[in-house]
Amino acid sequence: MHPVVVVEGGCLPEVWEKSITELWSKGVNIRTEYGNDSKDCTMLMIIRRPLAEPRIHKAGLMVGKLSQLEEYVQEVCNGIHDSYVERGIWPYTYHERLRSYKCCNQTIDQIDYIVRKLAE
User: Where does 9-109 have alpha helices with state H?
Assistant: 12-26, 69-78, 82-86, 94-99
Amino acid sitting at position 67: S
Please say whether the beta carbons of 101 and 110 come within 8 A. Answer: yes
The 10s digit of each residue's pLDDT in 21-74 is 999 999 999 998 778 899 999 999 999 999 998 887 777 666 567 667 788 888
The whole-angstrom separation of Cα 113 and Cα 105 is: 17
Closest CA to 46 of 79, 92, 15, 21: 15
pLDDT, average across residues 7-28? 95
- Write the DSSP symbol of residue 38: E
Convert the pLDDT of each residue in 62-114 to its tens digit.
Answer: 656 766 778 888 899 999 999 999 999 999 999 999 999 888 899 999 999 99
pTM: 0.59
